[in-house]
């Protein structure tokens, strides 16, 4: 089991972001843009039922990356792209011993970083991203990870999903981070119809109350890891199969086999 994350030390209270920063991309801008995206009551009820069941099924749902401060969380999230959290957690203890701060990593030789993160895959691209990311944080933000979505996504290698992971878990800001697990679970259940992660985020933010955005991410992510896996979902042990579009789309013989 991953170690319990410690709260970042030495941080004073930060200003609460404006509502616009907490909204998904298509909801920012003119108020009239929101009306067309609002889902029906039935879908909101379905989402509430699913999250309630998943809460009982996975009460220990959480983020599975190990970190001790916002900068470490940012780095491990970048490294976790196309890689398992378990593998990243194996690599990072030694990595953060060698590069304990953003300024240390900003000054690192790319070849040295590549050697340390090789097993996470795409190591050359990731090495460039974490070094550049650390350089920007050191030079523009005084070594502190910014707690604003637009500032985070301006950094090389930091997309919206990565930024939302950091904002929600390191800074306690409501956010839905659509990784591969959340994307798979949301689309199979019928809570999202889009394929683009940013659009899926928008759909989920419309369905789920803002105060539950982070928790919804953890619940769906854990469900995707344990039951609704990519290659062979365990429908026979899925507590939300009766609410799942994917399960209902299976032939009756397959449904019977899954339920047996």
Concatenated DSSP letters of 193-252: --SSHHHHHHHHHHHS-GGGHHHHHHHHHHHHHHTS-SSS--GGG-TTGGG-HHHHHS-H
**Ramachandran quadrant class, 143 (left: phi over 0; alpha: psi -120 to 50; beta: rest):** left
Residues 6 or more apart whose CB falls under 8 angstroms from that of 95 comprise 116, 117
Would you please indicate which residues are annotated as catalytic (active-site) residues? 161, 179
Residues 6 or more apart whose CB falls under 8 angstroms from that of 84 comprise none
Q: Report which of 150, 198, 179 is spatially closest to residue 65, judged by C-alpha positions.
A: 179
Buried b (16+ CB within 10 A) or exposed e, 189-224: bbbbebeebebbbbbbbbbbeeebbbbbbbbbbbbb
List phi, psi (to 5°) of 40: -75, 165
∠ at Cα 166 (203, 219), nearest 5°? 50
**Distance from C-alpha of 6 to C-alpha of 65, rounded to nearest angstrom:** 12
| SS3 per residue for 7-50 | CCCCCCCCCCCCHHHHCCHHHCCCHHHHHHHCCCHHHHHHHHHH
């Amino acid at each position: 089991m991953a170690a319990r994350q410690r709260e970042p030390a030495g941080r004073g209270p930060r200003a609460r972001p404006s509502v616009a920063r907490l909204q998904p991309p298509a909801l920012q801008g003119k108020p009239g843009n929101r009306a067309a995206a609002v889902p029906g009551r039935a879908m909101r009820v379905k989402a509430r039922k699913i999250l309630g069941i998943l809460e009982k099924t996975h009460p220990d749902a959480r983020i599975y990356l190990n970190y001790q401060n916002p900068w470490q969380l940012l780095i491990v999230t970048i490294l976790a792209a196309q890689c398992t959290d378990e593998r990243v957690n194996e690599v990072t203890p030694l990595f953060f011993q060698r590069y304990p701060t953003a300024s240390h990593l900003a000054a690192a030789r790319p070849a040295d970083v590549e050697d340390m993160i090789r097993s996470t895959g795409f190591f050359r691209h990731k090495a460039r991203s974490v070094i550049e990311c650390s350089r920007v944080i050191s030079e523009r933000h005084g070594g502190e990870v910014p707690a604003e979505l637009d500032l985070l996504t301006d950094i090389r290698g930091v997309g919206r999903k990565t930024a939302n992971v950091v904002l929600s878990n390191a800074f306690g800001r409501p956010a839905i981070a659509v990784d591969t697990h959340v994307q798979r679970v949301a689309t199979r259940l019928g809570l999202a119809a889009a394929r683009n992660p940013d659009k899926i985020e928008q759909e989920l933010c419309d369905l789920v109350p803002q105060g539950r955005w982070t928790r919804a991410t953890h619940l769906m992510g854990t469900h995707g890891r344990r039951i609704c896996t990519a290659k062979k979902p365990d429908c026979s042990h899925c507590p939300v199969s009766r609410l799942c579009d994917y399960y209902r789309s299976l032939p009756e013989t397959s449904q019977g086999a899954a339920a047996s």
